[in-house]
Structure 1
C-alpha cells in the first residue's frame, strides 16, 4: 500500500493547475460518493488530481487507478478498510470499470464507511451506466463532455470569454471583444478542438487509440459481442465519418454491413453512448418516436 501512496503523491505534485475544465466548479465535492463519467481523453483524471492538489490534505487522500496490479490480489473494500485505519478520508479511484465487481464493492464501501468520501471515474460510459444502477441512491453521477468552444479558446489561444446560454447565442447577443472574427478558430475547433490534448504532436495517434479502445473493447465487452460483430462497429463508424452529418438509411447501411436493420440502430446507440457520435431525433411522441433518427453527427 505504501507504493500506492508514493504513486498517488507523485501524480498530484506533477499535476498542472493553470487551466480548469468547466466541470470543476459544477461538481458538489461535499457529496459522499461522486462518479465522473465521460469519453476517453476528455480530462477526467486531470480534473480530480487538480481538485486534490488545490483542496485536500495529502496525508488523508489517496488516488489509485483500477488498472494497478495491486488490484489483481486486493479488493476495493480491503483497500478502503486499510486506508481508513491509516487516517484516510478521501479515496479517488480512476478507470473504475477496469475492476469487475466495482459497483458492488463501492456499495459496500458506502454502507460500511460513512466517514469516507469516494470519487470514481470511468471512461467506458456504457459499463458505468450499467453499474451505477446499483448505486442509484448512493452516488451522484456527473457526465463530462469534451472542450467547449469557450474552453478551447482559453486553453489553446489564451482568449477569455464569458459563458453564454443557447438562447443568447441564438439571439446573437454574444460578444467576443478579443475575437471579432471567430469563424476561423471555430472551424479549427470543430476539427480538432474537442480533446484537451488536441495540440499534442501525437494527437492523431492518441485519437485513433481512443477510438479503437472504445470500438474493440468497451462496447463489445458491454454488449457481449463477438469479434466479428466488433469489426462491424468499425465499419459503421467509417461509414458515418465519410457521410456525417446525414440522415441515415438504416436499411441501406444494414445491407452494407451484412447485418439486420435493428442491429444497426443498436450499434449506433452504443457508439453514441460511448461519446463518438451524436444522433438527432425527431419530436414524434409515443412509441413511434423511439429510435427514429433524423441526423447523425460525428
Structure 2
C-alpha cells in the first residue's frame, strides 16, 4: 500500500483547488458510498483530489487510489480497504473503478464489512447501466458529472462566476439575464472558443495538444472503457471507431441502420447496439420523438455528436447548423430530456425550440404555444428569440 500512498500524496500536492466544478457542492459527501460517473476528461479525478485537499486536515484519514495502477494486478480492493481501515483510515477514494474486474461485488463486500468506512469511486459514464442491475444499486448514490458548461468555461477563463439559471428563468427572463452577463464580457468570441475546445477540463493544460488529448480520450473509451464493461471483441472496437468517423461526416443524421451496418460490416442489431454504447460512453447523443418507446434495439430518429468539441476533432463536418444543434442538445440534456418536435427542432418539457442563426424566423413554429427561436450570433435576444449561448448557463 505504501506505493499507492506516495502517489496519492504527490497528486494531492499538485492539485489546484481554486476552482470547483458545478457538481461539487451538490454532492452529499456524508453518504456511505458515492459513485461519480462521467465521460473521460471531464474532471472526475480532480473532483476527488480537490475534496480531499480541502476537507481532511489529517491526510492519512483519506486515501486516493486509481484502479488502473499495476498494484492491483496482485492485490484486491478488499485487501486495500482492510489495510487502510486497520491503520485508521476513514474515507477511501477509488478512481477508474471500471478497470477492476468484479468491482461491484468487492465494493458491496467492503460496504457490508466496514460500516464506518466511507467510499467514493469514479467510473466511466457507461457504469450508468449498472444503476438498476446490481445488488450494489441500493447502496450507492450515483452522481453524474457532465463536461464543462459554457458558464463554467467562463468561470475557468476568469471572465466571471455567474449564477446558474433554470430553463424557465431563461425562457421568461432571457433578455435581462443576457444583458447583465454581457455588460462586461464580450461573449461571442468566448463562445466560439468554447465550442471548439472548452468542454473537457484538460483544455486548461494547453490548447496546443488539446486535439491529441481528446483523440486519445476517445480511443481510450472505445479500447479500454467499453471492453471493461461490455463483453465485445477486438473487431467490434474497430467498428465502433469506424462508426464514429462515419457519423461525424453525417450529423445531424437521421439514421439508416441498413446503410450504416453495411458501412461497418455489421448487422442491424449490432449496429443499433453500437449506437447505444457510444451514447452511454458520452460520444453521441441519440434523440427520438416524444412518447417513442426507447430500447437497446430501437433506432433513434436523430444522431448528433455528444458535444461540439467532438464535432471539431473529426474535422470532416463543422457545419454550423450541426454545431448549433449539438451544443443546444448537449447543454439541455444535462438538466432534462430532449426530444424531437413535430414542428420546430426540439422539445424540452412544454417548450418547443427552433435552433438557427440570427436571421432565423418563427415561420415553422408561429402557431405553437411556448415556442422559441434559439439564435446564434446574437448577444441579447428579444421577445421569443433567445441567444444560443445563454443555454450554456443551465449548470
Q: State the TM-score, normalized to the length of structure 2.
A: 0.70
Aligned partner of 1:192 in structure 2 is: 197
Report 1:172-191 matches (<5 A): 172-173=174-175, 174-175=177-178, 176-178=181-183, 182-191=187-196
**Residues 273, 296 of structure 2: 8 Å contact kept:** no
Once residues 296 and 303 of structure 2 are traced to their aligned partners in structure 1, the CA distance between those partners, rounded to angstroms, is: 16
Instruction: Report the secondary structure of 1:293's partner residue.
Output: coil
More helix as a share of residues: 1
Report the CA distance between 1:126 and its aligned residue. 2.3
Would the alpha carbon gap of residues 135 and 189 (structure 1) be closer, same or farther in structure 2, given more than 3 Å must change? Answer: same
Aligned partner of 1:142 in structure 2 is: 143
Would the alpha carbon gap of residues 181 and 168 (structure 1) be closer, same or farther in structure 2, given more than 3 Å must change? Answer: farther
Report 1:9-158 matches (<5 A): 9-56=9-56, 57-123=58-124, 125-127=125-127, 129-130=129-130, 133-158=134-159
Bigger mean CA offset, 168-177 vs 224-233: 168-177
Unaligned runs of 5+ in 1: none
Aligned partner of 2:313 in structure 1 is: none
Report 1:192-231 matches (<5 A): 192-199=197-204, 200=206, 201-231=208-238
Instruction: Report the secondary structure of 1:119's partner residue.
Output: strand
Count of residues paired in the alignment: 297
**Residues 90, 116 of structure 2: 8 Å contact kept:** yes
Report the CA distance between 1:70 and its aligned residue. 2.0
Report the CA distance between 1:156 and its aligned residue. 2.4
Q: Which runs of 4+ in 1 moved over 6 A?
A: 287-290
Once residues 296 and 264 of structure 2 are traced to their aligned partners in structure 1, the CA distance between those partners, rounded to angstroms, is: 25
1:249-269 CA-to-partner distances (Å, cap 9, x unmatched) read: 222222222222222211110
Bigger mean CA offset, 259-268 vs 85-94: 259-268
Bigger mean CA offset, 204-213 vs 282-291: 282-291
Instruction: Report the secondary structure of 1:197's partner residue.
Output: helix
Instruction: Report the secondary structure of 2:138's partner residue.
Output: coil
**Residues 32, 119 of structure 2: 8 Å contact kept:** yes
Once residues 156 and 95 of structure 2 are traced to their aligned partners in structure 1, the CA distance between those partners, rounded to angstroms, is: 24
Bigger mean CA offset, 220-229 vs 209-218: 220-229
Once residues 286 and 274 of structure 1 are traced to their aligned partners in structure 2, the CA distance between those partners, rounded to angstroms, is: 21
Once residues 289 and 53 of structure 1 are traced to their aligned partners in structure 2, the CA distance between those partners, rounded to angstroms, is: 41
Report the CA distance between 1:99 and its aligned residue. 1.1
Would the alpha carbon gap of residues 285 and 18 (structure 1) be closer, same or farther in structure 2, given more than 3 Å must change? Answer: same
Instruction: Report the secondary structure of 1:243's partner residue.
Output: coil
**Residues 289, 301 of structure 2: 8 Å contact kept:** yes
Bigger mean CA offset, 176-185 vs 46-55: 176-185
Would the alpha carbon gap of residues 114 and 16 (structure 1) be closer, same or farther in structure 2, given more than 3 Å must change? Answer: same
Aligned partner of 1:244 in structure 2 is: 251
Instruction: Report the secondary structure of 1:211's partner residue.
Output: helix
Would the alpha carbon gap of residues 102 and 222 (structure 1) be closer, same or farther in structure 2, given more than 3 Å must change? Answer: closer
Would the alpha carbon gap of residues 89 and 229 (structure 1) be closer, same or farther in structure 2, given more than 3 Å must change? Answer: same
**Residues 272, 299 of structure 2: 8 Å contact kept:** no
Would the alpha carbon gap of residues 6 and 32 (structure 1) be closer, same or farther in structure 2, given more than 3 Å must change? Answer: same
1:58-111 CA-to-partner distances (Å, cap 9, x unmatched) read: 121111111222222221111111111111101111111111121111101100
Once residues 21 and 89 of structure 1 are traced to their aligned partners in structure 2, the CA distance between those partners, rounded to angstroms, is: 24
Would the alpha carbon gap of residues 90 and 286 (structure 1) be closer, same or farther in structure 2, given more than 3 Å must change? Answer: closer
**Residues 36, 142 of structure 1: 8 Å contact kept:** yes
Once residues 304 and 121 of structure 2 are traced to their aligned partners in structure 1, the CA distance between those partners, rounded to angstroms, is: 29
Would the alpha carbon gap of residues 143 and 64 (structure 1) be closer, same or farther in structure 2, given more than 3 Å must change? Answer: same
Would the alpha carbon gap of residues 46 and 221 (structure 1) be closer, same or farther in structure 2, given more than 3 Å must change? Answer: closer
Unaligned runs of 5+ in 2: 306-395
Once residues 3 and 250 of structure 1 are traced to their aligned partners in structure 2, the CA distance between those partners, rounded to angstroms, is: 49
**Residues 159, 178 of structure 1: 8 Å contact kept:** no
